[in-house]
Amino acid sequence: MSFGFKTTWMAVRDASPEEVADAFELRYRQRLDWETGTELAYDHGVFVARPVPEWTLAHGRMHLLHDTDPTYPDFPGRLRALAALIGDFQYFRTERVSDYHAWVKVESGEVTRAYCYIGMTGEVPLRQGEPTAIEKELGVGLVGREEVRKDWGDAEWDAWHAAMPTEHEVMRIAANWSVCPALIEDDSVTVPGIYGLPPGVEPAPKS
């Protein structure tokens, strides 16, 4: 059960799963296979694994960076603090129902590129750095609310909405920057990962 749609994840090039799990201060740790850990992280907790050479992925729909998200003013600071522990990484988020899509690149301890769009409200709460080549190729992440004008007609609004991302563009950006987790075959991952809960998150009640 690979992931990517309707969830949140990070891709870290150099840090090991253990280092990433330590950075998130994961508790109640378990060693789990890729399919089991991924499935659990869709509902509760965080799963950290290295499914492909060079890239460690941290996945958690509800609890990856659960104490902040791209709409919070201190979000870049939270990412810089993580970078001090694990080095360069990328952050991605997709939510189909609210049409909430975000991608962030952290290099040399700084947020060099960030974009977040919430289709349900039409907001672009985070836009930082210059669009990367893949964003320009896809035609997304290039504009925000700053470009909106009161005198726009239907054609201008249609063009603005066409430049807003979908979950599929987020996957394309992830594949270009690092790895698209949705394309990882479950049976290709043979090394177990680490499943755990960050501070403030308690074990899910047993049904």
pLDDT for res 1: 55
DSSP code of residue 142? S
**Residues 105-127 pLDDT 10s:** 999 999 999 999 998 888 888 99
Q: Which are the contacts of 159, defined by CB distance < 8 A and separation ≥ 6?
A: none
Query: Which of residues 112 and 142 earns the better pLDDT score?
Result: 112
What share of the chain has pLDDT > 90, as a percent? Answer: 64
Judge whether residue 206 has pLDDT over 90: no
Write b or e for each residue in 54-84: b if 16 or more Cβ atoms lie within 10 A of its Cβ, otherwise e. ebbbbbbbebbbbeebbeeeebbeebeebbe
Q: Are strands 110-118 and 100-107 parallel, antiparallel or unpaired?
A: antiparallel
Q: What is the 3-state secondary structure (H, E, C) of 32-94?
A: ECHHHHHHHHHHCCEEEEEEECCEEEEECCCCCCCCCCCCCCCHHHHHHHHHHHHCCEEEEEE
pLDDT for res 207: 62
pTM of the model: 0.93
